[in-house]
Amino acid sequence: MTKAVLMTVLLAGLIVISTSGPAWAAQLDTTINPNNAESPFKMSYLKTVFIEYPNGGDLFNALGGTQWKTAGTADATNPGVQELMMALNDGIQKDGSQARVSDLNVIYEFQLTGRSLQTSIDYRVILEGSITDYIITEDSQKKLVDLGWRGLTTTSSIVIDGVEINIPLDILKTEEPILYNTFVDTEAENVLNRELINADFILEQPLTNWHFLFDPTGINADANTFGLDDSIQGFVVSSWTMGESSIREGRQVERVFEAEVMADELYIVRSVQSTDTANLSSIGFGALDILDGVEIIGVTPTPPEDYMTTSTGGFPVMIIYGMAGLAAAAGIGFFFISSRSMKNQKVGQQGIDPSNLVGYQTSASSGGYQTNRGEAQLKSDTDYEQTRSVYEQSTEVTPQETTPQETVPEQTMPSGGDEAACGCAASAEIGTECDCEMHGSCLCDATCRCNADICKEQVNEMS
């Protein structure tokens, strides 16, 4: 019963997951080239808002089966994009970083899908642009790169071509007035007024908690055969990745904000954002450091000669080699012990030597024929009781084994050549009746001297 309930819960969970669309939060992808004055970046912001009307109501009548989508793009020449660039740079400066956004393109898309029990609104804004002024200082051996700009966030209202792209509630004012009027001045307003363009968690997660890897392909002698970009030839590439939920990075769960609104019916508003993710790379080998409270990396063309760490940045490779050596030694020891055990095992014939055995026939004639059954016994009588034939029977019939009904008159066996003419094959030795008497017919000729009545009658008739 418990297994059935568990399987039902798992199946229901799979159905819910398979029918629910992903709702991600901020996602950063960038590659910093310390040899250039600016580098590209891409930041995606995604959020999903669910409006539930379990008891129906005006919102069910207005939204059930409704679908619409608002989308658009804009570049740095758009006044709304310029306002967004200024807001992002103000946030970067407040975070203590000297870097700034120098170019920006905006892609936005909002989609509403009405269903029988709920309506979902998907918000997506993508920023693609360039970051500059990230080089703090440099010399002939190393460059210090500012990474404190990665938390691109603004709480300001951003309007591009008449569309509000940062505050989820404001877009409903023009697209769905009934929703806006239902939720304004309620607890749902606090949920829907949370800005979409927010990457604070990417900045708050220390880079020391990110996974680190470096690719030395660019410094290989035959690197040009791999078709590498000219910008990374002669360099290694360092990469930091954030987004895993683990003991080291901490448990990361989706952020859910929920509110109930009582209008003509009870409505539930829920905003869902998953954890933020980021992939940050740099040309060259980057060593993490902190300068005036801002996380930076010291970049060199190649890693130090004594550098041997794994992706976590602090687990020596020699330990891995040592563990592998111990495993190999344990394997060798196992095979050595197994080999010695096999050598100590006895081989060849175990138990009784066949040369000490002799064959012994155990079958008896019956009906004019004889079987060839037999068994093996020891030549010596020693321990005979342990090997005694199971076919051997006592020649004496005990009173318990013989009943009055089983008692028969003593029979006389034919002798010499007459035995072959008698088909009865009487077995007087073990106290059984004549076979002819048992079968009610006699196969004997006139020479038969059986004592069975049927045989005597047969002999008389033949005489």
Q: 139 with 43, same domain?
A: yes
Residue 82 lies inside a defined structural domain of this protein: yes
Q: 379 with 292, same domain?
A: no
For the segment 67-109, what is each residue's pLDDT rounded down to a tens digit? 999 999 999 999 999 999 999 999 999 999 999 999 999 999 9
Residue 59 lies inside a defined structural domain of this protein: yes
Contacts of 371 (CB under 8 A, 6+ apart): 363
**Do the beta carbons of residue 155 and residue 114 sit within 8 Å?**
no
For the segment 214-245, what is each residue's pLDDT rounded down to a tens digit? 877 655 545 455 555 565 566 788 999 987 76
Give the end-to-end CA distance of the chain in Å, rounded to a whole number: 86
Residue of 51, 76, 69 whose CA lies nearest to 129? 76
Q: 386 with 455, same domain?
A: no
Q: 293 with 274, same domain?
A: yes
Q: 404 with 384, same domain?
A: no
What is the sign of the dihedral through the CA atoms of 53, 56, 58 and 62?
positive
Q: 81 with 107, same domain?
A: yes
pTM for the model = 0.61
Q: 90 with 196, same domain?
A: yes
Burial call 363-389: b when 16+ CB within 10 Å, e when fewer: eeeeeeeeeeeeeebeeeeeeeeeeee
Q: 318 with 370, same domain?
A: no
Q: Which is it for strands 277-283 and 27-32: parallel, antiparallel or unpaired?
A: parallel
Q: Residue 9 — very low, low, confident or very high, per pLDDT cuts 50/70/90? A: very low
Which stretches does DSSP call E strand in 179-327? 211-215, 237-242, 255-262, 266-273, 277-283, 285-291, 294-300
Q: 126 with 257, same domain?
A: yes
Residue 202 lies inside a defined structural domain of this protein: yes
Q: Residue 356 — very low, low, confident or very high, per pLDDT cuts 50/70/90? A: confident
Residue 237 lies inside a defined structural domain of this protein: yes
Residue 176 lies inside a defined structural domain of this protein: yes
Q: How many domains does the chain have?
A: 3
Q: 161 with 144, same domain?
A: yes
Q: 306 with 410, same domain?
A: no
Q: 386 with 427, same domain?
A: no
Q: Give me the pLDDT at residue 229, please.
A: 59
Higher pLDDT, 340 or 278: 278
Residue numbers of the domain that contains 383: 353-392
Tell me the HSE value of 428 on the side-chain side, using a 13 A CA sphere. Answer: 9
Residue 78 lies inside a defined structural domain of this protein: yes
> Which pair of tokens denotes residue 216?
């030395």
